[in-house]
Structure 1
Amino acid sequence: MPRRTIWRRCEPGGVWRMLLPGVVLLGNGEPSAEQRVEAALLHGRDGSILTGVHALRRYGLRNLPLTDEVHVLVPAERATASTGFVHIERTRRLPSPLIRSGVPTAPIPRAVIDAARRTADPDLVVAMAAEAVQRRFCLPWALAEELDQQHRAETRALLPGLEPILGGAQSVAEADAWNLWKRSGLPEFQWNVKVFDSAGRFVAKPDGWCDEIAFAWEIDSLGYHSEGDHFRATLARNARYAAAGIVVLQTLPSRLRSEPDAVMTELHAAFRSARGRPRPDVHLR
């Protein structure tokens, strides 16, 4: 088609729309998210791979920042520049893509770290990584390995924020608890491990657990744990803790930030209480 015909149809009020250099939308409305992704990959040319937030959305993750930017990986030698809504990243470490809905997509650990590097809100960074781990899209060591391989100053800056997730926390609230424990001077805690009683019956999966003295720390949100089936499940869990002789401290997530010193005092007091009685016969599996 003659170039002048394309330009005429893409003029204001025309029937087409120029999305990116050389990429035309055969319509004059706003492009959908899928059309933006397709246009970005066309701009990146053969071998380009979707990563970042839009890649994670294709896997079904929900705790994602709102962004129109489409992050695309291309081979290092390719002279393709970022433009419009497309962020082009040239890399010598191009991952083997997975095809998601017909689109070559970076593996989740790479997509999480790439998205984190371009997200300013540290809570959103933690939420993305936590969801990926909690929903078993990837394991913490895979995120740690990706961080290690990138060797970027901006990636190294992510490590303090992601350290709780790498240590076993599975939410922003648990990350706050992990950071508070880190400052507490208390012995080692484990996170999201399964505890069983002497007969091998499941007791609970506490957010935080000190195996040395069989002490559990639960970060229980008021909205989630106070209604309907969640409330009954929480009461049943607490009954199993009591029957097994486990000391448990329950903390509202909001207090980890609004009253950290008070929570720290409670944590130490509960720890001393647990340490002052014989350790019950419970174990991890």
Structure 2
Amino acid sequence: MPGIVLLSREQPNARQRVEAALLHTADLGVVTGFEAARRYGLRLAEPHGTVHVLIPGSHHIRSSRFTIVERTIDMPARRLLAGVPLAAPARAVLDGVRRIREADPVRSLLIETVEAGLCSVGELSAELEVGSRRGTALPRAVLRELEADVKSVPEAAALAIWNRAGLPPAERNVKIYDAHGNYVGMPDSWCDKLAMAWEIDSYAFHFGRDAFRKTLHRNNRYAAAGIIVVQTLPSRIRDEPEKVIAELQAAAEAAALRPRPDVSVAEVKRAA
């Protein structure tokens, strides 16, 4: 019969899964979740082997082997992309991440969504308020982090570590200058009360020849200005959080015992 998609016993490819899902929902459905996110170009939306499709709440269609059918009273407008009806990016991504129970994949995908320009943090938050409440606790927590201007998974985890350490407030996106107005650095986290910097330095970004040289020069500037700096690998934030907390607390104690150096901060202006 025309238009029927026959699935073999082998695992169908993405195109076959989407065609079968739309046929299964009698073309009432709108593709959402990870399949829609991938079609919007998000690299971190990993394949899950199923297609998540939204249908109007007045219809009753069961999920099938390769299709998750979700009835909703808040049916999104269709956005046709390569002939496939998709939910808007904010709805699609949130429909995907509310089925995840691990924080880092949720952070990664939401950050990628915002940085790719598909939608803003505000649009994601607004979508959470009108959409399904199921599985939204973790996305809500991550969006609060994004509202605090966290830009990477290690940075988000670092914020939690800093708060657990019970240290004075830290800032991001500030430039540090010495007493003569010379630029010192722009640390990942800066505690102005203690004049203490925390740098999350990964091998990938800091240990090539040029990057290593820049890191050494940066640390020398910190030392010359009297700034105490803690350097931490991102993997240690994940694997050794208690040790990292102890190191930060020890550095903070040392910083509090010495006279505060004459350094000042300037907030980095960001594009609107």
TM range (shorter): 0.7 to 0.9
SS of corresponding position for 1:118: coil
Instruction: Tell me how far 1:129 sits from its aligned partner.
Output: 1.9
Contact 1:127 1:172 in 2 (8 A): yes
Contact 2:59 2:71 in 1 (8 A): yes
Question: 2:123 — aligned with what?
Answer: 142
Question: 1:58 — aligned with what?
Answer: 39
- Of 66, 85, 88 in structure 2, the residue corresponding to residue 107 of structure 1 is 88
- d(CA) in 2 for partners of 1:190, 1:211: 8
One-letter identity of the residue aligned with 1:37: V
Matches within 5 A, 1:30-109: 30-46=11-27, 48-109=29-90
Contact 2:228 2:251 in 1 (8 A): yes
Gap runs ≥5 in structure 2: none
One-letter identity of the residue aligned with 1:145: A
Matches within 5 A, 1:72-221: 72-150=53-131, 152-160=133-141, 163-191=144-172, 193-195=173-175, 197=177, 206-211=187-192, 215-221=196-202
- d(CA) in 2 for partners of 1:25, 1:205: 57
Instruction: Tell me how far 1:90 sits from its aligned partner.
Output: 1.6
One-letter identity of the residue aligned with 1:265: A
Q: Normalising by the residue count of structure 2, what TM-score does the alignment of the two structures yield?
A: 0.78
- d(CA) in 2 for partners of 1:48, 1:243: 63
- Report the more deviating stretch, 58-67 or 244-253: 244-253
- Report the more deviating stretch, 79-88 or 117-126: 117-126
Q: Deviations over 1:186-227 (max 9, x none)?
A: 233344x25364899986554333455554322222243212
Question: 1:281 — aligned with what?
Answer: 264
Relative to structure 1, the CA distance from residue 260 to residue 121 in structure 2 (aligned partners, 3 Å threshold; closer, same or farther) is closer
Query: Does residue 255 of structure 1 match 2:224?
Result: no
Relative to structure 1, the CA distance from residue 217 to residue 79 in structure 2 (aligned partners, 3 Å threshold; closer, same or farther) is same
Gap runs ≥5 in structure 1: 7-21
Instruction: Tell me how far 1:244 sits from its aligned partner.
Output: 6.8
One-letter identity of the residue aligned with 1:49: V
Contact 1:48 1:73 in 2 (8 A): yes
Instruction: Tell me how far 1:146 sits from its aligned partner.
Output: 2.7
One-letter identity of the residue aligned with 2:131: Q
- Report the more deviating stretch, 223-232 or 75-84: 223-232
Question: 2:246 — aligned with what?
Answer: 265
Contact 1:203 1:237 in 2 (8 A): yes
Instruction: Tell me how far 1:158 sits from its aligned partner.
Output: 4.3
Relative to structure 1, the CA distance from residue 188 to residue 31 in structure 2 (aligned partners, 3 Å threshold; closer, same or farther) is same
- d(CA) in 2 for partners of 1:58, 1:241: 45
State, as a whole percentage, how many aligned pairs show the same letter: 44
One-letter identity of the residue aligned with 1:181: W
- d(CA) in 1 for partners of 2:186, 2:30: 38
Contact 1:65 1:119 in 2 (8 A): no
- Report the more deviating stretch, 80-89 or 107-116: 107-116
Q: Deviations over 1:53-76 (max 9, x none)?
A: 111112222223341111112222
Q: Normalising by the residue count of structure 1, what TM-score does the alignment of the two structures yield?
A: 0.75
SS of corresponding position for 2:136: helix
Instruction: Tell me how far 1:124 sits from its aligned partner.
Output: 1.8
Contact 1:69 1:85 in 2 (8 A): yes
SS of corresponding position for 1:154: coil
- d(CA) in 1 for partners of 2:6, 2:96: 26
- d(CA) in 1 for partners of 2:184, 2:40: 32
Higher relative contact order (CA 8 A, sep 6+): 2
RMSD: 3.4
One-letter identity of the residue aligned with 2:30: I
